[in-house]
């Protein structure tokens, strides 16, 4: 059994970002990337891909984010590879954010939470992504278990896909948007936490000025996972413009921008270091 972390996730994340640079790199073994690496679209290719990323980056980046779906598509053997990738990444010092985007109610949500946030689980991770669109209260089992186990939760708030706006920008009866309401909830969860809360939001780095239309106050005293750097078009230089005063709490996520340099371990490391340096420089500007 992996021991319960002695510190809350937010404190561990802040230290990892300060020491290793503010960067999250995805582990996304989708078929096109396997092909780009010259690997077969099967368990052997999946394992080679995942473990090469772990070898290259787990001892130097702050966060690794495996996308669960790309492992699950191979069934139980794929999940076994995911278990190994999580365990080896954490052993090398990286924080693992499981990108599972789970969202349900009652005992089902409690089971999802236990899968990723219970130290007794073979998939125990440092944090997990969740979807709040069955109502923020439906996430309570994950929120409570995260507090108990010293782990973190990242709630989808303002995603970069165009379809997200129809839900996230919708205006409630009290005049606030759905996205702003989610951020308000997270702000309350993080109240009083230092140096950083453990309850984060997912906010696309490609959204730019549309954040204003959503009535978004991004200062939640918690981390802001920002996908979109690199292949999706956003750059490190965009971060201060998008996130303003909250930029120091941003955890930029880069996947294809780094992974396209594989399977060369040195090239993967060089690319991740370059992105981390650019983000650090932009946040300090």
List the catalytic residues. Answer: 101
d(CA 114, CA 65): 18
Distance, first Cα to last Cα, the chain: 43
HEC profile of 1-49: CCCCCCCCHHHHHHHHHHHHCCCEEEECCCHHHHHHCCCCCCHHHHHHH
Residue pointed to by tokens 């839900």 = 167
Phi/psi at 243 (5° precision): -105, -10
- In angstroms, the Cα distances linking 81 to 78, 97, 120, 130, 260 are 5, 16, 18, 22, 21
């Amino acid at each position: 059994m992996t021991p319960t972390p002695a510190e809350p996730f937010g404190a561990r994340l802040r230290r990892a970002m300060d020491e290793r640079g503010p960067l999250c790199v995805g582990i996304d073994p989708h078929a096109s990337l396997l092909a780009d690496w010259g690997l077969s679209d099967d368990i052997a290719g999946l394992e080679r891909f995942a473990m090469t990323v772990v070898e290259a980056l787990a001892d130097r980046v702050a966060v690794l984010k495996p996308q669960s779906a790309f492992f699950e598509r191979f069934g139980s053997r794929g999940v076994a590879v995911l278990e190994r990738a999580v365990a080896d990444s954490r052993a090398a010092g990286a924080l693992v954010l499981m990108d599972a985007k789970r969202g349900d109610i009652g005992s089902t949500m409690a089971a999802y939470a236990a899968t990723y946030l219970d130290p007794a689980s073979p998939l125990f991770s440092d944090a997990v992504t969740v979807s709040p669109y069955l109502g923020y209260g439906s996430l309570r089992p994950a929120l409570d278990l995260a507090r108990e186990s010293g782990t973190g939760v990242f709630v989808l708030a303002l995603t970069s896909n165009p379809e997200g706006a129809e839900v996230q920008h919708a205006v409630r009866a009290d005049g606030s948007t759905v996205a702003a309401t989610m951020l308000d909830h997270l702000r309350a969860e993080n109240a009083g936490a230092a140096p950083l809360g453990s309850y984060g939001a997912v906010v696309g780095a490609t959204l730019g000025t549309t954040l204003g239309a959503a009535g978004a106050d991004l200062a939640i005293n918690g981390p802001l996972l920002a996908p979109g750097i690199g292949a999706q078009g956003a750059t490190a230089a965009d971060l201060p413009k998008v996130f303003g005063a909250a930029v120091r709490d941003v955890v930029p996520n880069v996947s294809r921008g780094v992974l396209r340099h594989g399977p060369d371990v040195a090239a993967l490391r060089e690319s991740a270091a370059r992105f981390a340096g650019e983000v650090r420089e932009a946040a300090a500007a």
